[in-house]
Amino acid sequence: MKIFYLNRTEDESGVSGTGRVAQGFIFDNGKVAVTWLSEHPTVTVYDNIGEVHAIHGHGGKTEVTMEPDFKKAFGELKSFVDNFSLSDIVNSRIPQEGAASKLLTKN
C-alpha cells in the first residue's frame, strides 16, 4: 500500500483550500481511497490513481505527492547491512601475492 497527498496551489471551488488538502492510499490491487482534510472529510474509492488525477488535478493546480515508503527502504538497507562483509570485499580486491595480503593473513 502506498500513501499520497493531494497538494493544491489554487482552490477553484473555494471548498477544499490550498496546500495539503487530501490524503490517499493506493492499495496493492491498484484501487485508490481518498479522504479530504477539510470540514467535509468524505472518503471516495477510485479504480486507479489516474482517475484521481483526472478528477482532482484541476489542470495542474493540484498534484499527487507520494510519501516515501520508509518501511521498504529500511528493509532494503537492513538486508544490505546484514549481507555486507568488509573482509570479503577487501580480500577480493587485494592481490593475493602483495604485501597487504600478507599483513591481512598474519592477523
Instruction: Return the bridge partners of 36, or none.
Output: 22
CA distance 96 to 27: 52
Per-residue confidence in pLDDT tens, the chain, 107 aa: 889 999 887 767 766 677 889 999 999 999 999 999 888 788 999 999 999 989 887 777 888 988 888 888 888 888 888 888 887 877 777 777 777 777 767 65
pTM of the model: 0.61
- Match 593475493 to its residue by C-alpha cell: 96
